[in-house]
């Protein structure tokens, strides 16, 4: 067989929302035989024109192929879509966003129904699907054997990152990274609010903000090193005492600009608590210990 005639894995995809449809298109474009199902059938029509087989029910889609990818709204929709469907012998890959506990329960649920299970957490938005240079990928966890068996097919729409046998780890990595993203968005929202009433063009400010966030991001490596060795005073660049001393400036500036400090205050409160414990020479890493219950 020449490279061009190598048979591609055929697969089924349940869910043709914004993400599911983007995934479907890349598999079709790469020459995979794809069977699709969506609760609202009209969403499958454009994909049928692009070569997808359209199943009339989730059960029919699952029966069509061993490899079944699910990309639905949430865990409840997975439960509802697959209720009563025979999963025996299927390789179920669930890309639906959920909690680590939901992923672990879903893995056990699939095992009881005779299916192998891999959970996925998508680190991409639909326009990044099928665009390798966009840097998107999916965290996978659960059966390593299943991951290795299907990695080539799973890597068609977007990169793959296997993070362990524990089915909950993909969701945990996903939620951890997205939580950090919301922290970043919160900081950016406060920054834009500060300049909002001034004669400063947000479009001129945005590149300054983006470059600053990028310049600060590598600090997470120092945090990781400190967490590993348990010494939060190692390689400190700006110690906690100095940073806490600066917090009134941030709160006063917010006040002067007519901006609520509600996004800043909780983090500053943690910094002050850690300082009160006598950790002035530390980095900000000690805040992490205060968060853990
Ligand atoms: N879109 C994004 O930016 C993010 C990027 C990161 C990963 N997420 C997660 O991906 C899952 C799917 O997201 P989506 O963007 O495709 O979401 P929607 O466009 O809202 O489509 C939802 C699909 O789920 C179907 N659905 C909902 N409830 C049920 C149900 N009870 N039974 C069967 N199917 C259900 C819905 O069907 P319909 O409304 O068209 O009939 C859509 O196919 C998601 O976990 C994101 O968190 C996306």
- pLDDT tens-digit map of 256-278: 999 999 999 999 999 999 999 99
Residue 97 CA, closest ligand 1 atom number? 45
Is the CB–ligand 1 distance for residue 96 below 6 Å? yes
Which pTM was predicted? 0.94
Q: What whole-number distance in Å separates Cα of residue 110 and Cα of residue 151?
A: 20
Q: Give the residue extent of every domain in the chain.
A: 8-172, 218-291
Task: Return the pLDDT at 7.
Answer: 78
Residue 100's pLDDT band (cuts 50, 70, 90): very high
pLDDT tens-digit series, residues 210-268: 999 999 999 999 999 999 999 999 999 999 999 999 999 999 999 999 999 999 999 99
The band of 34, judged by pLDDT with boundaries at 50, 70 and 90, is: very high
What is the mean pLDDT of the segment spanning 14-20?
98
User: Which residue's alpha carbon is nearest to atom 30 within ligand 1?
Assistant: 77
| Architecture, CATH, for domain 218-291 | Orthogonal Bundle (1.10)
Percent of all residues in the chain with a pLDDT value above 90, rounded to a whole number: 98
Atom of ligand 1 nearest to the CA of 121: 7
Does the pLDDT of residue 1 top 50, yes or no? no
Average pLDDT of the segment spanning 139-150? 97
- 72 C-alpha to center of ligand 1: Å? 4
Q: Among 210, 197, 219, which residue's Cα sits nearest to residue 287?
A: 219
User: For residue 5, what pLDDT band results from cuts at 50, 70 and 90?
Assistant: low
Whether residue 38 has its Cβ less than 6 Å from ligand 1: yes
What pLDDT score was predicted for residue 6? 65
- Calculate the average pLDDT of the chain: 96
Tell me, using a 6 A CB cutoff, whether residue 25 lines ligand 1.
no
| Diameter over CA atoms, the chain | 72
Q: Are strands 116-123 and 137-142 parallel, antiparallel or unpaired?
A: antiparallel
Other Cβ atoms closer than 10 A to 2 = 5
Q: What percent of the chain has pLDDT over 70?
A: 98
pLDDT, mean of residues 17-36: 98
CB of 187 closer than 6 A to ligand 1? no
What is the best residue among 72, 173, 177 to mutate for testing ligand 1's pocket, by most ligand atoms within 8 Å of CB? 72
* Average pLDDT score over residue span 89-109: 98
Whether residue 79 has its Cβ less than 6 Å from ligand 1 = no
Q: What is the mean pLDDT of residues 181-185?
A: 97
Q: For the residues 19-30, what does the mean pLDDT come to?
A: 98
Q: How far is the CA of 277 from the centre of ligand 1 (A)?
A: 46
CATH dotted code for 8-172: 3.40.50.720
The per-residue pLDDT for 2 is 43
């Amino acid at each position: 067989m020449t490279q061009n005639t190598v048979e591609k894995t055929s697969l089924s995809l349940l869910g043709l929302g914004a993400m599911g449809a983007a995934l479907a298109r890349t598999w079709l474009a790469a020459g995979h035989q794809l069977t699709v199902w969506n609760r609202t059938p009209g969403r499958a029509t454009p994909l049928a024109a692009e070569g997808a087989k359209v199943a009339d029910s989730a059960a029919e889609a699952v029966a069509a192929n061993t490899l079944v990818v699910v990309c639905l709204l949430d865990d409840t929709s997975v439960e509802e879509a697959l209720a009563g469907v025979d999963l025996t012998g299927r390789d179920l890959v669930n890309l639906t966003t959920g909690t680590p506990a939901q992923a672990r329960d879903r893995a056990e649920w699939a095992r009881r129904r005779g299916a192998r299970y891999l959970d996925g957490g998508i680190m991409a938005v639909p326009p990044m699907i099928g665009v390798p240079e966009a840097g998107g990928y999916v965290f996978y966890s659960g059966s390593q054997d299943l991951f290795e068996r299907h990695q080539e097919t799973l890597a068609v729409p977007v990169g793959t990152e296997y993070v362990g046998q524990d089915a909950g780890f993909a969701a945990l990595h996903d939620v951890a990274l997205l939580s950090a993203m919301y922290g970043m968005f919160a900081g950016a929202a406060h920054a834009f609010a500060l300049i909002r009433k001034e004669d400063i063009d947000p479009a001129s400010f945005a590149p300054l903000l983006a470059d600053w966030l990028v310049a600060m991001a590598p600090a997470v490596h120092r945090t990781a090193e400190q967490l590993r060795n348990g010494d939060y005073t190692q390689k400190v660049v700006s110690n906690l005492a100095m940073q806490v001393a600066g917090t009134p400036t941030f709160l006063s500036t917010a006040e002067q600009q007519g901006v609520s400090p509600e996004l800043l205050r909780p983090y500053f409160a943690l910094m002050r608590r850690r300082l009160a414990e006598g950790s002035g020479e530390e980095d900000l890493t000690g805040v992490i210990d205060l968060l853990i219950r």
